[in-house]
Structure 1
């Protein structure tokens, strides 16, 4: 893929994340018509695919699924940013920190999409300062084997600033 396509992938992955966050917020506000949303749905494709009614019969069902969708789409943003950085060979401390933290986040989600866990090899036990995006120092050695939490990387706002930084490289 060329860099422009990789940048588009990053943009799309963050749009999907925003969509899922919006879905969760609306579902928490009971803003979905559960009767309509949970009805039978058939996709007329090459092979028809039908989703019977009964799965999304309450707002709690939709909230739970929307929360999981945020996790999945967040993982997608880490994959897209990692792919964008794959062909770079950064020498500045900030670019190295961005690349290594993004790789570690991607790896955490590959070790449990429903309950991501930091899995860092000993030779990668480093501390990376994300201060250049108003983020924390991320100590990958200390995080190893811990359950992933957005606060460990400074939260979603830091992640969005990291995206802007990565796209500027």
Structure 2
């Protein structure tokens, strides 16, 4: 089991991966990637068995941009899983019926984690049970974000459901403050 310090370090690492994925996506979307150099025959020389990738999978922007966008989603999901794990490392129990601001924040992180944990390639909200079939009200600075878990249950996760991707970084800051 991770200590809280290790869990916070894991959160930092996961959010660095998310930042990298976002930067790479933007780079790809802007057509900055040299496709000729990128989409070449690639072989990893490993100690046990080599792994090779033939050219052709990423020869066009139409093939590379969706892959980069999907990478952002997977990095986002990993950051949610790691952030929720930090609450476990802090021995902070979820209180899904509590309406206290800190518990609302933790419940939201858990719900996002669940959306990605069950299918990272196609995350969907899973608000099961009476404890999670409700509205969440999360305070992020001067803004209150309201998430209707009943309406979202079963729907594909979208960043706009939490007020946009920028709010995820605010959620991280609030969660780390709570954990410290």
* 8 A Cα contact 1:135 1:158, kept in partner: no
Give the secondary-structure state (helix, strand or coil) at the position aligned to 2:121: coil
Give the secondary-structure state (helix, strand or coil) at the position aligned to 1:56: coil
Give the secondary-structure state (helix, strand or coil) at the position aligned to 1:147: coil
Give the secondary-structure state (helix, strand or coil) at the position aligned to 1:130: strand
Measure the CA separation in 1 of the matches of 2:5 and 2:110: 20
* 8 A Cα contact 1:107 1:119, kept in partner: yes
- Cα offset, 1:112, TM superposition: 2.9
* 8 A Cα contact 2:137 2:147, kept in partner: yes
Cα RMSD, aligned residues only: 1.6
Measure the CA separation in 1 of the matches of 2:11 and 2:62: 30
Deviates most, 119-128 or 97-106: 119-128
Give the equivalent residue in structure 1 for 2:69.
Answer: 67
Give the equivalent residue in structure 2 for 1:43.
Answer: 44
Give the equivalent residue in structure 2 for 1:10.
Answer: 11
Q: Any stretches of 5+ residues in structure 1 without a counterpart?
A: none
* 8 A Cα contact 1:135 1:153, kept in partner: no
Pairing 1:163–2:165 present: no
Deviates most, 70-79 or 90-99: 90-99
Deviates most, 22-31 or 125-134: 125-134
Give the secondary-structure state (helix, strand or coil) at the position aligned to 1:50: strand
Deviates most, 65-74 or 41-50: 41-50
Pairing 1:128–2:173 present: no
Measure the CA separation in 2 of the matches of 1:32 and 1:132: 36
Change in 2 beyond 3 A, CA 1:6/1:28? same
Change in 2 beyond 3 A, CA 1:82/1:57? same
Measure the CA separation in 1 of the matches of 2:63 and 2:7: 34
* 8 A Cα contact 2:140 2:170, kept in partner: no
Superposition pairs for residues 143-154 of structure 1, below 5 Å? 143-154=152-163
Q: Any stretches of 5+ residues in structure 2 without a counterpart?
A: none
More helix by share: 1
* Pairs aligned (count): 169
Pairing 1:33–2:41 present: no
- Cα offset, 1:149, TM superposition: 0.9
Give the secondary-structure state (helix, strand or coil) at the position aligned to 2:110: helix
Give me the TM-score of the superposition, normalised by structure 1: 0.93
